Structure 1
Amino acid sequence: MLSAVEGILLSVATSEAVLGLLGNGFIALVNCTDCARNKRLSKIGFILTGLAISRICLMWMLISEAYIKIFSPKLLAPINIIEYISYLWVIISQLSVWFATSLSILYFVKIVNFSHYVFLCLKRKINMVFLFLIGCLLVSWLFSFPVVVKMVKDNKLQYINTSWQMHIKKSELILHYAFTNAGIFLFFMVTLIVCFLLIISLWRHSKRMQLSESGFRDLNTEVHVKAIKVLISFIILFILHYMGITISVICLFIPESNLLFMFGLTTTFIYPCCHSFILILANSRLKQGSVRILQQLKKGKALRAM
């Protein structure tokens, strides 16, 4: 039976998951509708749709696993179930971060206007950059899967009495954690670099604005600031996300740690929930779509009231 605090945390986590599913579902729906209407899907539309779908899958997997662990942990007792969940986690989590990194690079290339030849080459061959990132993703999966297989085969994670417990040295766990998340850390570092370069670009642009004022330049500043806000929010929320995941992993060493596990779960869901709404507010097309839906809902309520 859950305590009052555990029940509150579980309710908060569930609410975050529902809001995240609605936000990401809306992003996917708007982009798919535009694709059907225009008979084509732009790069940013593809990336936003892929990011939304991967986050939806991630949240379904996290919330389903959490409810099973809390209310019916014996369902996870078969070792092959743990193996499948581990594979899914590696694929979906790394794919989600890949889409987020690709989105930050696309924003960077569209907004920034450096004259350096490296940037100009990057801008001309943006498709090659995405192919390179796909290659990095595949390599990351190739490194991660053998580690997952080894942990599962060695039966390091076992269900004992009423909870899951991990039988592994902390140093070995850190090594496994580093290998399975190497791709995620790589893509996250790329996002940090992109954010840093955007800040440099804004600083240089602001210095140029001191010499001459122009409406176009002012608009350029607004675009820079909006992109930086989106990236910084992603960085902060993503750090919270992995803090929550780390807490959930630590719970495997602590018997009867439902409260700590639910706190980690609540922290984990902040990123896929909040960042989806930040993307909607930052993207004019998604924002207009949300306004249209709200207007239709208001009209529907008004008609029912009549």
Structure 2
Amino acid sequence: MLSVAEGVFLFVATSEAVLGVLGNTFIALVNCMDCARNKKLSKIGFILTGLAISRIGVIWIIILQGYVQLFVPHMVTSGNLTEIITFLWVIINHLSVWFATNLNILYFLKIANFSHSLFLWLKRRISSVFIFLLGCLLISWLLSFSQMMKIIKDSKMHQENTSWIHQRKNYFLINQSLSNLGILFFSMVALITCFLLIIFLWRHNRRMQSHVSGFRDLNTEVHMKVMTVLISFMILFIIHAVGIAIEVVCFTLPRNQLLFITGLTATCLYPCCHSIILILGNNQLKQASLKVLQHLKCCETERNLRDT
């Protein structure tokens, strides 16, 4: 039986998951409809669609695993369900972070303008950068699968002793860390490109303000929106990583449902809120969302008129 605090946090996590699924489904549908209308899919459209679909999978896995851990914990160390969830998590979570990294790199190479020779070389070879990251994704999958199979094998060997994780927590945490090396690599690339792009936009805005007194650059407002999206991404992604770390650590500690649900809530925050930020920061998605809201408002007005 959950306490009041645990129930509140679980309700918040579930609400975040529902909003995240709706927001990412909207992003995927808008880009698919745009692709069908124009008979082609742009790079940004492909990345946003892939990111949205993979995040929907991530949200479902996070919530499913959370509910299993809370209400049927014996299935965590036994049963085929845990194996299926584990392998799906490896595939979809890596894919989600890979798409997010590609999105940040695309923004960075398209918007930023550094004079460094390495940056200019990368800017001319965007497609090659994506192919390189695809190769890194395949390698990270292979490494993660081998580590996760080792963890599952150990859990099957100790099915009779459910406290084996607590007894060998350092070994468990090391294996979990090794299985997420690919995630760590992509995360560092995404955060570094975010940080560099924020520096560029901040310097650009300061330069425009100092050279053109009393005049607001036409691109300044756009740059500020991009900075807001990037900073929010960094904050939410760090909270997401902390949430996952809390959930993993909870396996090595005595049963603490409140701490686990807190980690679950933090984990769900990123795929939910960042999808909303992407909708508000993208003109095409924002206009589509406004049209949907206007349509819903008209439907509600017509319903009220019929009722009266």
TM-score, scaled relative to structure 2: 0.90
Confirm or deny that 1:191 pairs with 2:175. Answer: no
Letter in 2 for 1:262: I
1:25 matched residue in structure 2: 25
Summarize the Cα distance change of 1:299–1:145 in structure 2 as closer, same or farther, 3 Å threshold.
Answer: same
Q: How does 1:162-181 map to 2 (within 5 A)?
A: 166-167=165-166, 169-181=168-180
Deviation, structure 1 residue 153: 1.0
1:270 matched residue in structure 2: 269
Deviation, structure 1 residue 113: 2.1
2:83 matched residue in structure 1: 83
Contact 2:198 2:230 in 1 (8 A): no
TM-score, scaled relative to structure 1: 0.91
**d(CA) in 2 for partners of 1:139, 1:153:** 22
2:240 matched residue in structure 1: 241
Letter in 1 for 2:112: V
**d(CA) in 1 for partners of 2:298, 2:164:** 53
Question: For residues 161-202 of structure 1, what are the alpha-carbon distances to aligned partners after superposition, in whole Å with 9 as ceiling and x for unaligned?
Answer: 9x8872553332332122111111111111222123223322
Deviation, structure 1 residue 78: 3.5
Structure 1, unaligned runs of 5 or more: none
Deviation, structure 1 residue 225: 2.5
Structure 2, unaligned runs of 5 or more: none
Contact 2:165 2:172 in 1 (8 A): no
Deviation, structure 1 residue 234: 1.1
Contact 2:87 2:145 in 1 (8 A): yes
1:11 matched residue in structure 2: 11
Summarize the Cα distance change of 1:256–1:200 in structure 2 as closer, same or farther, 3 Å threshold.
Answer: closer
Number of equivalent positions: 304
1:63 matched residue in structure 2: 63
Contact 1:156 1:167 in 2 (8 A): no
Deviation, structure 1 residue 205: 2.1
Letter in 2 for 1:24: N
Deviation, structure 1 residue 204: 3.8
Summarize the Cα distance change of 1:168–1:24 in structure 2 as closer, same or farther, 3 Å threshold.
Answer: farther
**d(CA) in 2 for partners of 1:153, 1:299:** 57
1:109 matched residue in structure 2: 109
**d(CA) in 1 for partners of 2:304, 2:158:** 56
Deviation, structure 1 residue 208: 3.9
Summarize the Cα distance change of 1:86–1:164 in structure 2 as closer, same or farther, 3 Å threshold.
Answer: farther
Deviation, structure 1 residue 254: 2.9
1:257 matched residue in structure 2: 256
Letter in 2 for 1:190: V
Confirm or deny that 1:128 pairs with 2:133. Answer: no
Confirm or deny that 1:182 pairs with 2:181. Answer: yes
Confirm or deny that 1:211 pairs with 2:216. Answer: no
Contact 2:104 2:190 in 1 (8 A): yes
Instruction: Classify the secondary structure of the residue corresponding to 2:219.
Output: helix
1:228 matched residue in structure 2: 227
Letter in 2 for 1:120: L
1:283 matched residue in structure 2: 282
Deviation, structure 1 residue 74: 4.3
Contact 2:86 2:148 in 1 (8 A): yes
Instruction: Classify the secondary structure of the residue corresponding to 2:40.
Output: coil
Deviation, structure 1 residue 38: 0.9
**d(CA) in 1 for partners of 2:196, 2:68:** 43
